[in-house]
Structure 1
Amino acid sequence: MAESTSKMAENSPPQDYLEVIEKAATKVKTLLAANEKLTKPRVMIICGSGLGGIADVLHPDDKIEIAYSEIPGFKVSTVPGHAGKLIFGLIGFNKVPVMCMVGRLHFYEGYTFQETTLPVRLAKKLDVTTVVVTNAAGGVNPVFKPGDLMLIDDHINFPGLAGYHPLRGPNLAEFGPRFQPLSDAYDFDLRKLFYTKAKKDLGIVRNIHEGTYFFAAGPTFESRAEVRMIRSMGGDAVGMSTVPEVIVARHSGLKVLALSLITNAGVGEKPPSALTEDPKPLDDGMASHEEVLEAANEASKDVQKIIEATINEL
């Protein structure tokens, strides 16, 4: 979209932003009209880095793909591993209608929180009632290993505590209250359903934890001192997404299930000392986006199975 749209989303009166949301909803509804089964998705799935394959579990015969560039107000995803399209389809033998966001938008890409969370507002306009958010995250809890899954039961919105909050500015009263409580952000029943499906019904052997997700703006991976700080503050995993979407989803009255795939272990030990004769290599354990995508690819099949089984019950 043009630069004027970006400024409008951040600085203009709420009515202008509401009009952008309405235009996006009208466009998507028009494109979905060709398949009546898909016009009222029940669940929105936000696919994290390397997890876009979740869309592969949709029934192949009833599927509509819409590029972000076709939707008014939508920005283009610029991150490797994020395709940049909405896929509408049916999941499971119950054929639950869903809206998959394959390629999320991030604050670090230079977009405002209004722009990165616009898809969630759109989902509300399309009558979605539940949002399933996935992400790739760095493990801060020393018990967590790459390849483990973490059901998010709470979060620390570090940018939000400093004033960079997705609900900053005039309240969109038609979506939710001025002061949104977040003590119930991560739905207990959905977490229980996910775990039950994974362990009892599917027999998934991959480790599944619960924990607190620490939202950092990015795009740099954390320094050693920052990893120690996050750990001391109660964070179990750290990432650059999810929390703004969750906040807007709860503000919109949507239930939330959020899942982190632990793709790397945060390096929290002090740097090697230059005063020692044989220091440990400085790059030992250093994170990379390629590592994130590789770990996500290895775990994606399990994640797809569990999410399919979970959403089939909604």
Structure 2
Amino acid sequence: MIGIVSGSGLGALADAVEIEREVPFLEAGLPISSVPGHAGAFVFGKLAGRSVLLMKGRLHLYEGYDARQVTAGIRWMVAQGINKLILTNAAGTMNNAFAPGTWMMLSDHLNLTATSPLAGADFTDMSVAYDAACRADFRTAAIVSGMTLHEGVYAGLRGPQYETPAEIRMLQSMGADAVGMSTVLETIQARSLKIPVVAFSCLTNWAAGLTGAHLDHKGVLETGRQAADEMASLLKQVLGEKR
């Protein structure tokens, strides 16, 4: 079974799933996210003939939760039997070649949250955070379908404030291509449980200082909604080929 997490404004990914049953976060022992665009439910169903478990929405550090609470949904999905995890998020782009409205597949990440869900656990190798074989499958499918799919490094910060122009310049100097407030802790948790991960950022806006545009969550949600169909098509293509 494939686990999928939908990010801000990307709940429409669930529309592509043939739903068999839903489990609200509260029923699974998770609190409900307070952030608009995060529905707060697990969806069991089929996508391109494959069994999937989709997490509609997620919890964030900036809501006041700790790293273990933020990753509780990943542990719950693993307990249900997922053997691969697909993460999506909304992110600001810092790479001039990666325009808003397109998607970036994560090649690596920077954990700048100053925390980890693995406190008290064994050491976990993060040399290959994002599975090479999975990435190759999506890369090939994107080329075949004509979809623009960038690849780059994601910087995960705590939030909830957006970054300053100076912080964006710092992140660029560190090699990051996109920035957001999720995903890295979920990846760390999944890899500690030996679950392969592939992750995608919907690039919803230019990061601070790259243009004079005002940053707000409503714009993030709207761009995410518009791009969700493209990701749903790519998922169908890859999962259908792997049946």
User: The TM-score by the shorter chain falls in which range?
Assistant: over 0.9
Q: In structure 2, what residue type is equivalent to 1:82?
A: H
SS in 1 for 2:58: coil
Q: Does 1:258 align with 2:199?
A: yes
Post-superposition offset of 1:88: 0.4
1:275-305, Cα deviation, whole Å (9 max, x unpaired): xxxxxxxx92121111111111111111110
1:72-125, Cα deviation, whole Å (9 max, x unpaired): 2x1111110111100100111xx2111100011111111111111011111221
Match of 2:26 in 1: 69
CA RMSD after TM alignment: 1.4
Mapping for residues 18-37 of structure 1, pairs under 5 Å = none
TM-score with structure 2 setting the length: 0.96
> Relative CO higher for 1 or 2, CA cutoff 8 Å, sep ≥ 6?
2
List gaps (5 residues or longer) in structure 2: none
SS in 1 for 2:204: strand
Post-superposition offset of 1:311: 2.5
Post-superposition offset of 1:159: 1.9
Mapping for residues 222-301 of structure 1, pairs under 5 Å = 222-268=163-209, 284-301=212-229
Identify the match of residue 193 of structure 1 among 137, 141, 144.
137
Between Structure 1 and Structure 2, which shows a larger proportion of strand residues?
Answer: 2
TM-score with structure 1 setting the length: 0.74
Post-superposition offset of 1:192: 1.2
Q: In structure 1, what residue type is equivalent to 2:25?
A: Y
Identify the match of residue 167 of structure 1 among 106, 118, 129.
118
Aligned equivalents of 1:231, 1:210: Cα separation in 2:
15
Aligned equivalents of 1:286, 1:135: Cα separation in 2:
20
- Of stretches 235-244 and 151-160 in structure 1, the one that deviates more from structure 2 is 151-160
Aligned equivalents of 1:300, 1:230: Cα separation in 2:
26
Match of 2:146 in 1: 203
Runs in 1 of length 4+ with deviation above 4 angstroms? none
Q: Does 1:123 align with 2:77?
A: yes
Aligned equivalents of 2:236, 2:41: Cα separation in 1:
20
Match of 1:27 in 2: none
